[in-house]
């Protein structure tokens, strides 16, 4: 219990210290709000524009969730295909690695040209940037069971499908959720980048419009809203992980992992 409270309090106290230092330095050096607003000014802008931020945030959240769904499902299925097909492993895996060397900013304008300024370019960017951790983590997780465990299943007459559903898939759950949590944070980045490149709504669009008008307090308020959405999504995934991978959560509570 003490360790759990320490894990919660340590980042909270550090955050409060950093925010307090920020507030003091901005006021001490009389930094203009259009350059760097104080945290108190950001919170005021957040409260005054909460309806606007919520409306744009709902749009960005829909892009994040759809992108994470498509990227996660695609990464999961591709990991299974690569695991069970040595030919695909040799042919596709280097291409998958190489695709991550391409900056997302280079892809987003092309998608805008192909798909327009609607929802799907942003969803596609979020999906492309979030699928890679799932491919790597799930493919590693499927290799987690030892050969003696696989041989034991085979000796009891288990089929390839039964070994997958009863042994390999459960064993891959911890790494799957680890990859999913990374993908969730990347999906937030991908959706925002897509909105920066070409959009008429969303938190990324609001940030650009506010920046052009030197309303930096609203820019930071939009960043705060993005952070809240990302943390909520991460927290939901963490709760689901504790329900699904309950044996790992029990070990963590006992201090074994």
Q: What is the distance between the alpha carbons of residues 231 and 214, in angstroms, rounded to a whole number?
A: 27
* Mean pLDDT in residue range 209-230: 94
pLDDT at 249: 54
pLDDT at 98: 78
pLDDT at 61: 95
| Structural domain count of the chain | 2
**Residues 52, 135: one domain?**
yes
Q: What is the mean pLDDT of the chain?
A: 87
**Residues 6, 114: one domain?**
no
Q: Which domain holds residue 6?
A: 1-30
The sign of the dihedral angle between the CA atoms of 176, 178, 181, 187 is negative
* Mean pLDDT in residue range 159-174: 88
> Tens digit of pLDDT for each residue in 221-251?
999 999 999 999 999 999 998 888 876 655 5
**Residues 71, 127: one domain?**
yes
Q: What is the distance between the alpha carbons of residues 136 and 92, in angstroms, rounded to a whole number?
A: 12
Confidence of residue 50 (pLDDT cuts 50, 70, 90): very high
pLDDT at 218: 95
* Mean pLDDT in residue range 46-67: 95
pLDDT surpasses 90 at 85 = no
**Residues 165, 95: one domain?**
yes
**Residues 113, 184: one domain?**
yes
Q: What is the distance between the alpha carbons of residues 8 and 96, in angstroms, rounded to a whole number?
A: 37
**Residues 7, 108: one domain?**
no
Q: How many CB atoms lie under 10 A from the CB of residue 181?
A: 18
pLDDT at 64: 95
pLDDT surpasses 60 at 161 = yes
* Mean pLDDT in residue range 2-21: 80
Confidence of residue 42 (pLDDT cuts 50, 70, 90): very high
Range in 5-9, 63-67, 216-220 with the lowest mean pLDDT = 5-9
**Residues 59, 14: one domain?**
no
Cβ neighbours for 41, distance < 8 A, ≥ 6 positions apart: 33, 217
Confidence of residue 256 (pLDDT cuts 50, 70, 90): very low
Q: What is the distance between the alpha carbons of residues 50 and 54, in angstroms, rounded to a whole number?
A: 6
**Residues 8, 43: one domain?**
no
**Residues 25, 135: one domain?**
no
pLDDT surpasses 80 at 105 = no
Structure tokens at 69: 């769904």
Reported pTM? 0.86
- Domain harbouring 233, CATH code: 1.10.3720.10
Confidence of residue 257 (pLDDT cuts 50, 70, 90): very low
pLDDT at 90: 82
pLDDT surpasses 90 at 43 = yes
Residue scoring higher pLDDT (133 or 252): 133
**Residues 21, 113: one domain?**
no
**Residues 17, 48: one domain?**
no
**Residues 24, 147: one domain?**
no
């Amino acid at each position: 219990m003490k360790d759990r409270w320490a894990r919660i309090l340590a980042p909270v106290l550090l955050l409060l210290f950093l925010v307090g230092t920020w507030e003091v330095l901005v006021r001490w050096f009389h930094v203009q709000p259009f350059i760097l607003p104080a945290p108190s000014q950001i919170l005021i802008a957040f409260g005054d524009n909460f309806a606007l931020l919520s409306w744009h945030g709902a749009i960005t959240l829909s892009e994040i969730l759809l992108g994470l769904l498509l990227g996660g499902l695609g990464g999961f299925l591709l990991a299974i295909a690569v695991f069970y097909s040595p030919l695909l492993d040799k042919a596709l895996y280097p291409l998958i690695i190489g695709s991550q060397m391409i900056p997302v900013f280079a892809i987003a304008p092309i998608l805008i040209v192909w798909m327009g300024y609607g929802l799907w370019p942003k969803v596609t960017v979020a999906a492309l940037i979030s699928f890679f951790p799932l491919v790597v983590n799930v493919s590693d997780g499927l290799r987690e069971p030892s050969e003696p465990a696989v041989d034991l299943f085979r000796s009891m007459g288990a089929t390839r499908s039964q070994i997958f559903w009863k042994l390999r898939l459960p064993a891959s759950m911890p790494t799957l959720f680890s990859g999913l949590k990374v993908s969730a944070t990347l999906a937030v980045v991908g959706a925002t980048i897509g909105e920066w490149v070409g959009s008429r709504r969303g938190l990324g669009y609001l940030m650009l419009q506010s920046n052009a008008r030197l309303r930096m307090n609203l820019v930071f308020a939009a960043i705060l809203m993005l952070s809240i959405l990302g943390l909520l999504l991460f927290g939901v995934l963490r709760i689901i992980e504790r329900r699904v991978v309950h044996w790992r959560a029990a070990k963590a509570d006992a201090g074994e992992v």
